[in-house]
């Protein structure tokens, strides 16, 4: 269930009270317009009582009004239930008596006009509006976890990973608004709403406006005092840069619990804003300081673009969870593993290293970090959980478990023309040493498989025509694909579960071990194509530790992760066994390549997947959408009917990842 409280006023994001105009004292996160701009300041909502049962005169649909969600200068916001569908909305109810003047009604109409055209995952959804004799009713998306202001009021400050998580979503929503040539003009914690899935939604478009040419920009001073930019205060007009400034104030407030320009009186606050004068405590990471300083540049032209913000070191060199637990609303998250996973890796470490002394020595050496990373390390010491491929309507699907240790990750800057983001490559042989060449699978053979898949994909992309949708062909599938995965390569390796419930681990020393669906048989690959088979209960002594880790990987994924799509399971025992050759991570996707040429790419941002496999001597492509629904068609079909630009873009990105790996091997 999703929720919004799109209201004109939300509680403060924290901090002291400040003197407002007219000698009134109110919340520093409160929105208002400066006296002299043609409107009085409204500090309370004296809306008339609203009936419990409300009927839309136009449709006859009846609604039941619930509890108050918030109050504003002109309106109150309530929970509202559609009595026909039982769907819950956030309803902004505005008494006609509060918008009796023409310019006041025009303001409401403008808000409705702007908001109803918007449709984005990180923007509060507008559904419907109507009015009766007493009120205007605006029905919007309902967000059950209240706003960021409420969260920060309870939490006081947020951790760096949480700030990255929320800021990425704000930037996504804000980028959409700017592309629609809409300025929000009131970005603050009270206008960021959180739904039951802990997704952030940008809301409250009461002050939003169309972007105008520089010479025609609005000179009105409006917004929230602590978040106003210098150019707005100086009546130079609003532009996208003013929203960037407010975003800098938001980031500062999240990290430190108070706005950057907050003082005990409004006049001093304005002076600090005009001079861009604020403090950056030493407790902040260097990259966080740098990003905040760039967004709070006095000159609007010196501020970064939204794309530059998410490409900043604060994001690219730090851990960003793909999902947060709801406990983050009131308690700082623990980025260590919680229960079954924590026990799993504790036991696995004991199995590998034997006694406490050996284990402690290994972990101490392994976790040594450069001095500048000590602050980060304290936040997420040890293992961190990063749910990379969860679906929007499900608590979990694929899962990545990630750590901070830089010594374990080979970081390469990809060719910007092809990739445009940082590639984090963790492949066979890069995370451990092999005592002999026979212990590691041959890179040349891996390169052959990768080259073949790359050639097939490249040929298809070069010849397929453009189309508006993906092909309608639907064929039966008879290949295996990865439904779950766990990244613990900082210590042991990369684990995954196939659609037939085979569990595999690509260990850091280059060996691969599979636990077959019967949970009794183990396949061990020390060299490409050479497989040792033995019962799990009778593992050779040299493999006992690895079998133990394999079992715990299997248990963890079975108990804690959900499948990533609706493709049927394939249980053909005559089919050659799959094992992972290599995998590659970028900031946008995870790539996995198997020995039979099966090639899978999972995209983080919308949780979609593409899988290319050889089926009956012909390549097929499977696309799994955001709702975990799959479509499979022959690549030859793409050459005839073409594919959508969205699918083509994903295929091109997948090819670039594969070519990047091929170049590295070469």
Please name the residue that has the structure tokens 């073409």. Answer: 642
Residues of the chain with pLDDT under 70: 1-49, 73, 214-223, 335-447, 474, 527-529, 562-576, 661-666
Q: Is the pTM of this model over 0.85?
A: no
Q: What is the CATH number of domain 443-660?
A: 3.30.1120.30
Q: In angstroms, what CA-CA distances link 160 with 233, 273, 296, 334? A: 30, 25, 19, 12
Give the burial class of 73: count Cβ atoms within 10 A of its Cβ; 0-12 exposed, 13-18 middle, 19 or more buried.
buried
Which phi and psi angles does 206 have, rounded to 5°? -65, -30
Quick one: which of 501, 455, 474 has its CA closest to 637?
Answer: 474
Give the span between the Cα atoms of 246 and 15, in whole angstroms.
Answer: 16
DSSP 127-151: EEEEE-SSEEEEEE---TT-BHHHH
Per residue in 369-381, is it b (16+ CB within 10 Å) or e — as a string? eeeebeebbebbe
Quick one: which of 260, 178, 275, 254 has its CA closest to 224?
Answer: 260
pLDDT for 292: 97
What does the block give as tokens for 52? 């419990």
DSSP 558-609: HHH---SS-PPP---TTSPPP-EEEEEEESSEEEEEETTS-EEEEETTT--E
Q: What is the CATH number of domain 52-141?
A: 3.30.200.20
Number of other CB atoms surrounding residue 194 within 10 Å:
26
What is the rounded average pLDDT for all residues in the chain? 75
463 is in an annotated binding site: no
pLDDT for 421: 32
Q: Tell me the domain boundaries of the chain.
A: 52-141, 146-325, 443-660
Number of other CB atoms surrounding residue 293 within 10 Å:
15
Question: What is the strand order of the sheet 580-586 is part of?
Answer: 410-413, 422-425, 580-586, 589-594, 599-603, 609-615, 618-624, 630-634
pLDDT for 219: 57
Element (H, E) at 292: helix 286-295
Give the span between the Cα atoms of 588 and 607, in whole angstroms.
Answer: 10
Give the span between the Cα atoms of 20 and 264, in whole angstroms.
Answer: 10
pLDDT for 10: 35
Using DSSP's 3-state secondary structure scheme, residue 343 falls into helix
Give the span between the Cα atoms of 378 and 375, in whole angstroms.
Answer: 5
Active site residues per annotation: 186
Level-2 CATH architecture, domain 146-325: Orthogonal Bundle (1.10)
Q: Hey, CA dihedral for 561, 550, 384, 347, is it positive or negative?
A: positive
pLDDT for 271: 93
pLDDT for 49: 65
pLDDT, one tens digit per residue, over 636-648 is: 888 888 888 889 9
């Amino acid at each position: 269930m999703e929720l919004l409280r799109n209201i004109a006023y939300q509680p403060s994001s924290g901090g002291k009270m400040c003197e407002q105009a007219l000698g009134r004292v109110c919340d520093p996160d409160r929105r208002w317009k400066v006296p002299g701009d043609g409107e009085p300041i409204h500090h309370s909502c004296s809306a008339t009582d609203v009936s419990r049962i409300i009927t839309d005169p136009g449709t006859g649909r009846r609604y039941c009004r619930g509890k108050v969600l918030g109050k504003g200068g002109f309106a109150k916001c309530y929970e509202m239930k559609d009595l026909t569908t039982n769907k819950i909305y956030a309803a902004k109810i505005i008494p006609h008596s509060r918008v009796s003047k023409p310019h006041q009604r025009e303001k409401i109409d403008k808000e409705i006009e702007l908001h109803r055209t918007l449709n984005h995952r990180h923007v509060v959804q507008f559904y419907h509006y109507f009015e009766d004799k007493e009120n205007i009713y605006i029905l919007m998306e309902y967000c059950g976890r209240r706003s960021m202001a409420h969260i920060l009021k309870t939490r006081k400050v947020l951790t760096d990973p949480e700030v990255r998580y929320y800021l990425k979503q704000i930037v996504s929503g804000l980028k959409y608004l700017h592309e629609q040539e809409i300025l929000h003009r009131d970005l603050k914690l009270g206008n960021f709403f959180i739904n039951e899935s802990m997704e952030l939604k940008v809301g409250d478009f009461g002050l939003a406006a169309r972007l105008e040419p520089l010479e025609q920009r609005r000179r009105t001073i409006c917004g929230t005092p602590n978040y106003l930019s210098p150019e707005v205060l100086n009546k130079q007009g609003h532009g996208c840069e003013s929203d960037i400034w407010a975003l800098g104030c938001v980031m500062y407030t999240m990290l430190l619990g108070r706005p950057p320009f907050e003082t005990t009186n409004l006049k001093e606050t304005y002076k600090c804003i005009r001079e861009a004068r604020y403090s950056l405590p030493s407790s902040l990471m260097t990259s966080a300081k740098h990003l905040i300083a760039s967004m709070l540049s006095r000159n609007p032209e010196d501020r970064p673009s939204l794309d530059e913000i998410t490409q900043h070191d604060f994001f690219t060199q730090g851990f960003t969870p793909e999902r947060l637990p709801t406990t983050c609303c009131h308690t700082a998250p623990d980025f260590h593993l919680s229960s079954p996973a924590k026990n799993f890796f504790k036991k696995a470490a004991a199995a590998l290293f034997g006694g406490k002394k050996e284990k402690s020595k290994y972990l101490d050496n392994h976790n040594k970090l450069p001095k500048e990373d000590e602050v980060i390390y304290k936040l997420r010491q040890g293992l961190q959980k990063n749910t990379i491929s969860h679906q929007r309507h499900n608590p979990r699907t694929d899962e990545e478990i990630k750590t901070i240790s830089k010594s374990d990750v080979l970081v390469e800057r990809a060719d910007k023309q092809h990739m445009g983001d940082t590639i984090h490559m963790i492949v066979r042989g890069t995370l451990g040493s092999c005592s002999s060449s026979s212990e590691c699978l041959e890179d040349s053979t891996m390169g052959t498989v990768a080259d073949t898949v790359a050639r097939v994909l490249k040929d298809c992309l070069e010849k397929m025509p453009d189309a508006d949708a993906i092909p309608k062909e639907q064929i039966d599938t008879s290949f295996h694909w990865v439904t779950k995965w766990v990244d613990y390569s900082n210590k042991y390796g990369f684990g995954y579960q196939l659609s037939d419930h085979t569990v595999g681990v690509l260990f850091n020393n280059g060996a691969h071990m599979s636990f077959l669906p019967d949970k009794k048989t183990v396949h061990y690959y020390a060299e490409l194509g050479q497989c040792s088979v033995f019962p799990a209960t009778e593992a050779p002594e040299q493999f006992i530790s690895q079998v133990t880790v394999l079992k715990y990987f299997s248990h963890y994924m079975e108990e804690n992760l959900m499948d990533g799509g609706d493709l049927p399971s394939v249980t053909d025992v005559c089919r050659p066994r799959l094992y992972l050759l290599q995998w590659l991570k970028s900031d946008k996707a995870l790539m996995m390549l198997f020995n039979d040429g099966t090639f899978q790419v999972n995209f983080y941002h919308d949780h979609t997947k593409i899988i290319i496999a050889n089926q009956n001597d012909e390549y097929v492509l499977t696309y799994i959408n955001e709702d975990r629904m799959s479509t499979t068609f022959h690549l030859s079909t793409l050459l005839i009917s073409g594919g959508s630009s969205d699918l083509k873009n994903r295929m091109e990105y997948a090819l670039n990842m594969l070519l990047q790996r091929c170049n590295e091997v070469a």
